[in-house]
Amino acid sequence: MAPYYALLTDRGIAAESHSHLYKRDLTVNHTQAVTLGVMAAYVVVIAILWNVPYLRYSLWPFKMLVIAFHEFGHAITACCTGGRVKSISLDPHEGGVTHMQGGMAAITLPAGYLGSSIIGALLIFAGFNIIASKVASIVLGVCFLLTLWWARRDLLTIVTVLLAVGLLVACWFIAHGEALKWVVLFIGVMSALYSVWDICDDLILRKVNSSDASVFAQRYGGSSRCWGLLWSLISLIFIAIAIVAAIAAFPQSFSQQEDDSKSFLPTKF
């Protein structure tokens, strides 16, 4: 009985240790609490700038960038479902359009809203860690190159993407990329919230007939507001998953992150 009891005891200790490890991984430490606080501040600042006359223009470049994410979502899913992208263009009045041929409309239509939400959630996840932010900026660079190719005839899109690339590159050289982390986090919050607010504003509050959801409703049934509400909830779920995953994946302190970043494509201004 002694060996069997010892085995049960060892298993119990292992299970208890695993349970403590799981709880510890989801416990918010000081660095993560500061990051969450900065996220909350971003939300407040964006909400204020979004609605205050004249001040709202300060968000215009980031709005155009998020619209580029929206159009990229349409374009990449069209390519992945057998379609072809003819062009992407952005409008100065905060609009955009992707001209494509073929593809699965059931996927490409919601991919604009949900695509920008997924990109925002991934950037929020990466914004909890400097190295992850560096990796995210490289991935964004690839996405921007594709967007430039599709939008090579649209000057506004080209300028928006090049300015975004310039901002990301500049942040690489500040404190081993620490500034990049906060910029990536801001763009992530902006992208994730913009998609939610855009869905609510266009589809739930004032119902724009020419929206992606209205076309989706015409083809597959339901109403644009119902689809908009569903896509909004999915977007919020993406954000929640990103935050929980980041808390579990990145427990490092600010100093640890900076030390780790020194050995990953090191730069400092």
Question: Residue-wise pLDDT tens for the chain (269 aa)?
Answer: 555 444 444 454 444 444 444 445 578 899 999 999 999 999 999 888 877 777 777 787 788 788 888 888 889 999 999 888 888 887 766 577 888 888 898 899 888 888 888 999 999 999 999 999 989 888 888 877 777 777 777 787 788 788 888 888 887 777 667 888 998 999 899 888 877 777 666 655 555 556 787 888 888 888 877 888 888 888 889 999 999 999 999 999 988 988 888 887 776 55
Q: Is the overall model pTM greater than 0.85, yes or no?
A: no
Q: Which of 65, 83, 63, 61 is nearest to 74 (CA)?
A: 83
DSSP category for residue 99: E
Gap between the Cα atoms of 165 and 188, Å rounded: 15
Calculate the alpha carbon distances from 62 to 68, 106, 139, 188 in Å: 10, 28, 18, 10
Q: Which of 62, 31, 25 is nearest to 186 (CA)?
A: 62
Gap between the Cα atoms of 96 and 74, Å rounded: 11
Which residues lie closer than 8 Å to 165 by C-beta, 6 or more apart? 141, 144
